[in-house]
């Protein structure tokens, strides 16, 4: 049995994590966190990578197989407007019920972090609405994410929250007309890479404050020029700074019809969202990563647990149970 060092390092990890890793800078903290997580989860990481390389095809088959041509993320992203991904229809139908039941009511109190953005998902929804986990674990979705991660993905259990059902609403914003927090450009530091699958739950236009990003190659160039993630830089970057090194014409807004899906590496693409959502935006946000993260969130947070059944495929169980595997 391996020694659990988490209680010992928790106080240090909390300090290093505070204020978006400002104490040592994001890059330095990520390196430290990755080294620690490699000690804890290195064998599981190797196991998932080997399974991806040698057995992905039978794992996908056993999980229901692919139902359509495989999508591929290029330059950090892929967009699917076909509305043909499995279980998507059911997800959209169930989402209408959730929106009708919970939208438009501000759940958090004023002055809280990200007042303009609220997650209305509850853990009970996993059982009440099985369509979401069926979509999250479908072979068509997982093949895209796994090809990008080069390993069997895990649904994130800490940061970002694995499944979020998000309402963005300018009416809730404590500081309207003044972009702040995740309304400003940043690159996520949780894991390298971290992939989001984002689903528009209602038709979305620029008035809804869409998720907005720059392709990976452009983002990486800007990151280097701005010394972003360095110890002298904060986590959020102003538009002025970004557009001093990036052409505005390269910006992509995730807009479109209900059911449009974006696969994106949020750890590689500069992005922001929920900026001035004068019309409420409803979006599903699903987070996937490998098992060796680049943050200390698993040391300082209680990881989420997802329901698993005996009849679930091996692939589905690996996605929903991050820490299964050789130990
Ligand atoms: Fe982000």
Distance 272 CA to ligand 1 centre (A): 7
Question: Is the bond preceding residue 257 a cis peptide, omega within 30 degrees?
Answer: no
Residue 131, number of CB atoms within 10 A of its CB:
18
Distance 247 CA to ligand 1 centre (A): 21
Distance 182 CA to ligand 1 centre (A): 6
Give the pLDDT mean for 30-36. 98
SS3 state at 200: strand
pLDDT of residue 112: 60
The tokens 């739950």 sit on which residue? 201
- pTM for the model stands at 0.96
pLDDT of residue 2: 63
Question: What's the mean per-residue pLDDT of the chain?
Answer: 95
Distance 273 CA to ligand 1 centre (A): 8
Distance 280 CA to ligand 1 centre (A): 19
Distance 58 CA to ligand 1 centre (A): 33
What angle do the packed helices 26-62 and 139-149 form, to 10 degrees? 140
pLDDT of residue 204: 98
Number of Cα atoms under 13 Å in the Cβ half of residue 183: 22
Residue 4, pLDDT above cutoff 70: yes
Residue 225, number of CB atoms within 10 A of its CB:
12
Distance 266 CA to ligand 1 centre (A): 6
Distance 176 CA to ligand 1 centre (A): 19
Residue 27, pLDDT above cutoff 60: yes
Band of pLDDT at residue 190, cut at 50, 70 and 90: very high
pLDDT of residue 106: 84
pLDDT of residue 116: 86
Residue 177, pLDDT above cutoff 90: no
Tokens for 265?
Answer: 């590496």
pLDDT of residue 113: 64
Kindly report, residue by residue over 107-130, the tens digit of the pLDDT: 765 556 678 889 999 999 999 999
Contact 168, 211 (CB under 8 A): no
Distance 189 CA to ligand 1 centre (A): 9
Kindly report, residue by residue over 230-281, the tens digit of the pLDDT: 998 999 999 999 999 999 999 999 999 999 999 999 999 999 999 999 999 9
Long-range contacts of 125-133 (CB under 8 A, 24+ apart): 125/98, 125/165, 126/163, 126/306, 126/307, 127/307, 129/94, 129/98, 131/87, 131/90, 131/91, 131/93, 131/94, 132/91, 132/94, 132/163, 132/284, 133/306, 133/307, 133/320
Band of pLDDT at residue 173, cut at 50, 70 and 90: confident
Which has more confidence, 173 or 311? Answer: 311
Distance 263 CA to ligand 1 centre (A): 14
Band of pLDDT at residue 76, cut at 50, 70 and 90: very high
Distance 267 CA to ligand 1 centre (A): 8
pLDDT of residue 12: 97
Percent residues over pLDDT 70 in the chain: 97
pLDDT of residue 279: 96
Band of pLDDT at residue 45, cut at 50, 70 and 90: very high
Distance 24 CA to ligand 1 centre (A): 20
Band of pLDDT at residue 1, cut at 50, 70 and 90: very low
Distance 7 CA to ligand 1 centre (A): 28
Can you tell me the distance from the alpha carbon of 51 to that of 34, in angstroms, rounded to the nearest whole number? Answer: 21
């Amino acid at each position: 049995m391996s020694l659990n060092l988490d209680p010992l390092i928790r106080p240090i990890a909390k300090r290093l994590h505070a204020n978006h890793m400002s104490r040592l800078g994001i890059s330095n903290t990520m390196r430290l966190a990755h080294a620690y997580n490699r000690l804890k989860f290195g064998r599981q990481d190797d196991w998932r990578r080997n399974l991806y390389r040698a057995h992905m095809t039978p794992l996908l088959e056993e999980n229901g197989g692919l139902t359509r041509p495989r999508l591929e993320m290029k330059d950090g992203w892929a967009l699917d407007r076909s509305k043909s991904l499995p279980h998507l229809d059911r997800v959209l139908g169930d989402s209408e019920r959730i929106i009708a039941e919970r939208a438009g009511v501000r759940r958090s109190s004023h002055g809280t972090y990200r007042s303009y953005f609220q997650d209305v998902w509850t853990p009970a929804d996993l059982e009440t609405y099985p369509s979401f986990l069926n979509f999250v674990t479908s072979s068509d979705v997982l093949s895209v994410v796994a090809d990008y991660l080069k390993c069997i993905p895990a649904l994130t259990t800490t940061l970002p929250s694995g499944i979020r059902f998000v309402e963005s609403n300018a009416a809730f914003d404590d500081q309207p007309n003044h972009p702040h927090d995740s309304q400003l450009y940043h690159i996520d530091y949780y894991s390298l890479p971290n992939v989001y699958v984002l689903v528009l739950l209602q038709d979305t236009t620029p008035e809804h404050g869409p998720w907005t990003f720059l392709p990976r190659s452009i983002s990486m160039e800007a990151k280097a020029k701005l010394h972003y993630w360095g110890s002298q830089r904060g986590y959020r970057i102003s538009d002025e700074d970004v557009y001093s090194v990036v052409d505005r014409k390269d910006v992509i807004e995730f807009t479109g019809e209900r059911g449009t899906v974006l696969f994106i590496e949020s750890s590689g693409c500069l992005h922001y969202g929920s900026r001035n959502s004068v019309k409420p935006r409803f979006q599903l946000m699903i987070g996937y990563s490998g098992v060796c993260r680049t943050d200390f969130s698993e040391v300082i947070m209680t990881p989420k647990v997802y329901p698993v059944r005996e009849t679930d495929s091996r692939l589905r169980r690996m996605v929903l149970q991050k820490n299964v595997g050789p130990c």
